Amino acid sequence: MDQTDLPLTTRAPAKVNLTLRVAGRRPDGYHELDSLTAFTAGEGDGVADGLSLLPGASLSLTVTGDTAVEAGPDDDNLVLRAARALQQLCPGLQTGRFTLEKRLPVAAGLGGGSSDAAAALRLLARLNGLAADDARLREAAAATGADVPVCLAARARVMAGLGEVLGPQLTLPALPALLVNPRVAVSTPAVFRALAASPLQAGSPPAMLTPDVATEAGLRRYLLAGWNDLEAPARSLCPEISEALELVQRMSGCWLARMSGSGATVFGLFDDQAQAEVAAGRIHATWPAWWARPVMLA
Ligand code: C5P
């Protein structure tokens, strides 16, 4: 155990689906996805949840923070589910008291709960001396939820299948961005149900991910050729998503506006960070109840 650094802490960044293609529907009703996924970069609070673990004899969780009330009962939290999944795989695993500082909007398409679960696995790995690439971490992540494996390393990469198929970690040019959530929770199952009633862009094959995405121009080309298949069905359920997209798109310096995950959070990509900050200020002024944050995605 690392006695010099207690409690152990980590940030659980937001996950943003820069592109999201629904590749097909399985007989069990689940959908195969193909998504270039990135994360909010930065130190300290940033745009992320915060998780700490005080080693102890029994596993527990306390949730605090701005969006804690939205997060549901603590005993059903993905942090605990992930910890229990890893306990099953690692008899004798030391756990302790988790404290989650919840700052990301919940049910927002930002993978907050999944990122919290992945953060819990990272802290337990540190506490128990498990290597970052230990297969049991991946197994516990996959058992906890579809988005948890991609959140384990929290690095940009393509995720496919139901989230269990991960491409190599990518080093993308950092993307100055604005995240906007109109503070309406969107139900993921409802969006997938609505998808059945709206056409996919599937006719057009996805752009190939080439080494070109390591350059700013190549990444822009790739992203501009992409889309999010869940955007149309989510907009049909939640008109605020359309409002947010239109508002972000009109901001000076925004070259792409798109929804993340199954919504309702939308992101705008900007030529530079200052423009994203100005845009966040303008959105706060226009829609004070909305959640708007300038971020760097990587
Ligand atoms: O992963 P999560 O529990 O948020 O998914 C909620 C619901 O969304 C699933 O029960 C399923 O109906 C739908 N879903 C899907 N395909 C996926 C992920 C979710 O159809 N890849």
Give the right CATH number for 3-166 from 3.30.565.10, 3.40.1280.10, 3.30.230.10, 3.40.640.10: 3.30.230.10
Matching residue, tokens 């004899």: 57
Q: Is the CB of 31 under 6 A from ligand 1?
A: yes
Catalytic residue among 34, 49, 116, 147: 147
Q: Whose CA is nearest to atom 10 of ligand 1?
A: 189
Q: Whose CA is nearest to atom 14 of ligand 1?
A: 30
What is the CA(30)–ligand 1 centre distance, in A? Answer: 6
Check if 15 is active-site.
Answer: yes
pLDDT tens digits along 243-262 = 999 999 999 999 999 999 99
Q: Is the CB of 165 under 6 A from ligand 1?
A: no
pLDDT, position 45: 63
Asked if residue 162 has pLDDT above 50, the reply is yes
In the chain, residues under CATH classification 3.30.70.890 are 175-297
Asked if residue 3 has pLDDT above 70, the reply is no
In the chain, residues under CATH classification 3.30.230.10 are 3-166
Q: Is the CB of 119 under 6 A from ligand 1?
A: no
Annotated binding residues for ATP: 105-115
Q: Which residue has the higher pLDDT, 26 or 74?
A: 26
Which of 22, 28, 31 for mutating ligand 1's site (highest number of atoms within 8 Å of CB)? 31
Give the model's confidence band at 204: pLDDT under 50 very low, under 70 low, under 90 confident, else very high.
low
DSSP 205-270: PPPP--GGGGSHHHHHHHHHT--BTTHHHHHHH-HHHHHHHHHHHTSTTEEEEEE-TTSS-EEEEE
Top-level class of domain 175-297: alpha beta
pLDDT, position 272: 95
In percent, the amount of the chain with pLDDT more than 90 equals 83
pLDDT tens digits along 126-153 = 999 999 999 999 999 999 999 999 999 9
Region 57-86: mean pLDDT is 91
Q: Are 47 and 14 in contact (CB under 8 A)?
A: yes
Check if 34 is active-site.
Answer: no
What is the CA(19)–ligand 1 centre distance, in A? Answer: 17
ipTM comes to: 0.94
pLDDT, position 201: 56
Task: Please tell me what DSSP assigns to residue 154.
Answer: T
Asked if residue 165 has pLDDT above 50, the reply is yes
pLDDT tens digits along 43-56 = 666 799 999 999 99
Give the model's confidence band at 2: pLDDT under 50 very low, under 70 low, under 90 confident, else very high.
very low
55: nearest Cα among 114, 128, 141, 116? 128
Q: Is the CB of 290 under 6 A from ligand 1?
A: no
Average pLDDT, the chain: 92
Q: Is the CB of 192 under 6 A from ligand 1?
A: yes
What is the CA(110)–ligand 1 centre distance, in A? Answer: 15
184 phi/psi in degrees, rounded to 5: -125, 125
Question: Which amino acid makes up residue 221?
Answer: R
pLDDT, position 206: 64
What is the CA(223)–ligand 1 centre distance, in A? Answer: 24
Asked if residue 205 has pLDDT above 70, the reply is no
pLDDT tens digits along 213-237 = 999 999 999 999 999 999 999 999 9
115: nearest Cα among 14, 262, 260, 10? 14
Q: Is the CB of 8 under 6 A from ligand 1?
A: no
pLDDT tens digits along 73-118 = 778 899 999 999 999 999 999 999 999 999 999 989 999 999 999 9
What is the CA(22)–ligand 1 centre distance, in A? Answer: 12
pLDDT, position 24: 87
